[in-house]
Amino acid sequence: MSLLLIDRHPGVLRLTLNRPEVLNAFNLDMARALQAALDDAANDASIRAVVLTGSGRGFCAGQDLASVHMGDGIPMPDLGNVVRDQYNPIITRIRTMEKPVICAVNGVAAGAGANLALACDIVLAASEASFIQSFTKIGLVPDSGGTYLLPRLVGMARASALMLLGDKVSATQARDWGMIWQVCEGGTVLEQAMALAAGLATQPTRAFGLTKQLINASLGHDLAAQLEMEEDLQREAGKTADFLEGVQAFLQKRKPAFEGR
Ligand code: T3D
């Protein structure tokens, strides 16, 4: 059985974590498969949006705790290496990929699974989904970019409490706190994510990529540096075929046909 299901739709790549018996917890092979698929998506110009979801009733329960070999005199594993080799490349790729990554959180998202979802550009969650920063419950620290993203999404007070207490946050609460974009009722989360992705795949992909660069940079920039970067990237956007098409379509009162370049 494939640990990651890869489905191509026009302009859209759908990636489904596929270890439903353990709520799609990550082992090394699944992490490697996701890394490779994200790399392919980033480098394939025909893919203009990515959807990430999970099979079964969970989205992802983080690290597969059964695959961490310890106890009975076995030396303690070096978890820094696990984070470096498994999770950091995935989070970096999602954040830096110059096309939108949409997460369809179909069920519980815990530990690295929660932070994987939060790293995506637009997060939709099923009404029954939940988010748990479960790391400290097993004596670990949050990883997969959670300590970077969560305080920025929900503020220090909520991020600190969520990470120290490890409480479950419902999809509705997550939306109301600004952690995610939207809650989808009635089992429609994947359908809605795919429809969103199909729409985005017909839009100016290059401008999306540049916008992602600006959003990422804004988290560390002061206003002057950000204004300068906007100037630079607007210069680039202004040279794209999609800009020309967008303006012509507006003036001719027709729908633009963006090619993503
Ligand atoms: O290497 C490193 O460790 C470093 C990297 C760390 C990154 C991390 O992600 S650390 C955090 C790891 N994840 C967790 O601590 C979450 C553990 N899981 C849970 O707390 C609960 O399963 C959930 C709250 C996510 C869901 O609860 P519930 O009641 O809906 O489901 P369940 O019955 O607990 O789980 C269903 C099955 O999935 C169950 O197997 P079984 O009994 O039916 O055979 C359970 O053992 C399995 N499962 C769930 N999470 C994991 C898992 N198996 C392995 N690893 C898991 N993380």
- Residues in the chain predicted with pLDDT less than 70, given as ranges, are none
Give pLDDT tens digits for 139-196: 999 999 999 999 999 999 999 999 999 999 999 999 999 999 999 999 999 999 999 9
Q: Ligand 1 centroid vs 105 CA: distance in angstroms?
A: 16
- Between CA 103 and CA 151 the distance in angstroms is 19
Query: Do 4-200 and 205-251 share a fold?
Result: no
Return phi, psi of residue 16, to 5°: -120, 115
Residues with CB under 6 A from ligand 1: 22-23, 25, 61-66, 68, 79, 82-83, 108, 110-112, 132, 134-135, 138, 140, 143
pLDDT for the residue 71:
77
Q: Ligand 1 centroid vs 173 CA: distance in angstroms?
A: 22
The fold for domain 205-251 equals: Lyase 2-enoyl-coa Hydratase; Chain  A, domain 2 (1.10.12)
pLDDT for the residue 76:
85
Which 3 state secondary structure label does DSSP give 203?
coil
User: Where do the structural domains in the chain lie, given as residue ranges?
Assistant: 4-200, 205-251
Ligand 1 pocket, mutate which of 21, 23, 87 (most atoms under 8 A from CB): 23
- Domain made up of 4-200: CATH architecture: Alpha-Beta Complex (3.90)
Atom of ligand 1 nearest to the CA of 108: 25
Ligand 1 pocket, mutate which of 28, 34, 65 (most atoms under 8 A from CB): 65
Give pLDDT tens digits for 226-236: 999 999 999 99
Say how many Å lie between the first and final Cα of the chain, rounded.
Answer: 37
- CA 32, 99, 104, 197 dihedral sign is negative
**Distance of alpha carbon 20 from the chain centroid:** 19
The DSSP code for 83 is: I
Helix axes 146-154 and 112-119, enclosed angle (nearest 10) = 60
- C-alpha separations of 150 from 28, 38, 234 in Å: 25, 22, 29
Nearest residue by C-alpha to atom 38 in ligand 1: 22
pLDDT for the residue 83:
97
